[in-house]
Structure 1
Amino acid sequence: MASLPVRDRAGNRLTGFRVVTDSELGRLGDRVVVAASVVVVEHAGAVLMVFDGWRRQWELPGGSREPGETSRQAAVRELREETGIDGVQMVGVAVAEFDLVDPDRHEFLAVYRVRLRALPSLLVNDEVLDFLWWSPSGPVGEDMSPLDAEIARRVVHTPTG
């Protein structure tokens, strides 16, 4: 794992990563605004990365919360929309903290974990153009979000869920 902060090519920085329990993550929204959620989907030692057609990079499935949604509801919706994966056991495991640019802001991100026993059928769509099962012990390519890769590595090495 890298030491924080980790910076991407746009200047966004992952500044914090705190392991929490599922119930702590559910209550976090009472104290701070959690703008988005990501899901670390694991199978046979690999993590699912999606190729985002807009950002043109490999990243974790996830995205912004819609009005009235909890962090968990956003994670479930984004995972279903971006991959077709639905009806899986999802556990809240961490909160990540970012300093983002364009526009400049400080945000919190809910991090969930899903462990699969079998490979799922994945659905390419307008937003996600491809899928990659990435080994967290492997290198981070130039076309992969170093922020998401670092989150995935930290989740895989967290003995929760």
Structure 2
Amino acid sequence: MMFNKWSRSWELPGGVIESGESARECAIRELYEETNQIAADVALMGLMKFDLQPSFHGPERTEYGALYYAKLDVVRDFVENDEAAKIIWWNGITDIGDIAIIDRKLIEFV
């Protein structure tokens, strides 16, 4: 889990696909950019449709996403960046504070 500096909550690494990029490539890139981890093996867990309420990201809208599971050969040191203040390896049980609602649901699929 990464602690998002903007939302002040824990969430899974993720983001928006860049031009010419596949969903898989996006997942690998976002994991690296936000956590400094390099995915050794990536598996598609599923596709999702989200009906999102208005937020600082914009008005009410529908978005689609892909959920990936990554294995790491090596755990690299975290490097703080514009989006993530820190990362943790969460067991799914320990109270770590606020976790984005959407990410609580996504974790159920992994």
So what's the TM-score if we normalise by structure 2? 0.83
Residue-pair matches, total: 106
Aligned counterpart for 2:65 among listed residues 96, 101, 109: 109
Gaps of 5+ in 2: none
Q: Which amino acid aligns with 1:97?
A: K
> In the alignment, what sits opposite 2:19?
67
So what's the TM-score if we normalise by structure 1? 0.59
Give the whole-Å Cα distance in 2 for the aligned partners of 1:140 and 1:105: 31
Cα shift readout 1:51-80 (whole Å, capped 9, x = no counterpart):
111111100001111122211111111111
Root-mean-square deviation over aligned CA pairs: 1.9
> In the alignment, what sits opposite 2:7?
55
Query: What is the deviation of 1:115?
Result: 2.6
Query: What is the deviation of 1:105?
Result: 1.0
Give the whole-Å Cα distance in 2 for the aligned partners of 1:67 and 1:104: 24
> In the alignment, what sits opposite 1:93?
45
Give the whole-Å Cα distance in 2 for the aligned partners of 1:122 and 1:72: 22
Does the alignment pair 1:130 with 2:86? yes
> In the alignment, what sits opposite 1:150?
105
Greater fraction strand:
1
Give the whole-Å Cα distance in 2 for the aligned partners of 1:126 and 1:146: 22
Query: What is the deviation of 1:82?
Result: 0.5
Give the whole-Å Cα distance in 1 for the aligned partners of 2:96 and 2:28: 27
Gaps of 5+ in 1: 1-48, 156-161
Give the whole-Å Cα distance in 2 for the aligned partners of 1:65 and 1:96: 15
Query: What is the deviation of 1:96?
Result: 2.1
